[in-house]
Amino acid sequence: MTTTAHPAFQRIALLGKVNHEATRATLLKLEQSLLNMGYEVIVEARTAEQLSSTQAQILPLHRIGESADLAIVVGGDGNMLGAARILCEADIAVIGVNRGNLGFLTDLDPDHVIEQLKSVLEGHYQTERRFLLQAEVFHCGKSKSVGRAINEVVLHSDKVAHMIEFEVFVNDEFVYSQRSDGLIISTPTGSTAYSLSGGGPILTPGLDAFTMVPMFPHTLSSRPIVVDGHSVIRLRAAANNDSLQLSCDGHVRMTVQPGDDVVIQQHPQRLRLVHPEDHSYYRVLRNKLGWGSRLF
């Protein structure tokens, strides 16, 4: 993580959760304040639909990265994830305003957003590079679908509480065959999300590693594994499975047929995440997970 001490942002894009009144109020406040401060403001097209009017330029999400220096995402972590999967293609800085529940990725407080944002725009901020996962499904040796995730990729049944069988390879070395409800492959960013609920470890954001967390495995000896971030993981669905699903951040879903291979590795582009200068990852964990404060 690096700290910057000079202004770098002039063109600012606004994105937000559609049909959410509190988000709408924050977006209007941000737009007016930024325009008054002399910044060029761009509003993402779907976001613009929920504003009664806007004085800003309107662009679709896939063009935000080429037109703005900074994207401000107003909403929860889900909104940030959706934006991140697209914005990682461009070297654009991204910061979040928390209008969701937990908010591990959205730092700014909506009640004090202008004061906090001013400091960031003056050049007082931290920058992190978060990696994404790329998942590709191969049928008979040919690629049939590709997805990306900033939190996790999950192999699972399309039925509730249904055990599946698959083999796991890391860098073409056989690891194990498994019978379980599925497998969660998580980035450090996603280690506080679905993976954590499944019993996986928390990985600090700077680690170049990801985890493989079994979901309700048939054997109690099956445990989460942390592997090097440059590894290539291959999952092979057993021939006796029904059709399976591969989910990326719980959003993009791909079908995995019996005998198909799933290849998971780092995506070539990284997300450039911006935090206020006083950001502390451990403070976020304490606040969001309800950890105890210092005793002395």
Residue 114 · residue 129 · CB < 8 Å: no
125 assigned binding-site residue = no
Does the annotation flag 192 for ligand binding?
yes
CA gap 72, 91 in Å, rounded:
14
Backbone angles phi, psi at 95, to 5 degrees: -135, 150
Distance CA 17, CA 61 (A): 13
What six digits make up the tokens of 138?
Answer: 């191969």
Q: 3 a known binding residue?
A: no
Query: Minimal CA–CA distance to 236: which of 168, 170, 176?
Result: 168
CA–CA dist 246, 229 (Å, integer) = 20
204 CB-contact burial (10 Å; exposed 0-12 / middle 13-18 / buried 19+): exposed
Residue 197 assigned as binding residue? yes
Q: Is 77 annotated as a binding-site member?
A: yes
Residue reference for tokens 């996986």: 200
191 is in an annotated binding site: no
Which of these is catalytic: 77, 107, 249, 261? Answer: 77
Q: Is 194 annotated for ligand binding? A: yes
Query: Which sign, positive or negative, has the C-alpha torsion 285, 288, 289, 290?
Result: positive
Residue 162 annotated as part of some ligand binding site: yes
* 77 catalytically annotated: yes
The answer to whether 111 is a known ligand-binding residue is: no
* Nearest CA-CA partner of 147 in 272, 269, 264: 264
Q: Is 242 annotated as a binding residue?
A: no
> Encoding tokens for residue 66?
């080429």
Residue 119 is labelled as binding a ligand = no
Active centre residues (catalytic): 77
> Which residues are documented as binding site for NAD(+)?
77-78, 151-152, 162, 179, 181, 192-197
> Which residues are documented as binding site?
77-78, 151-152, 162, 179, 181, 192-197
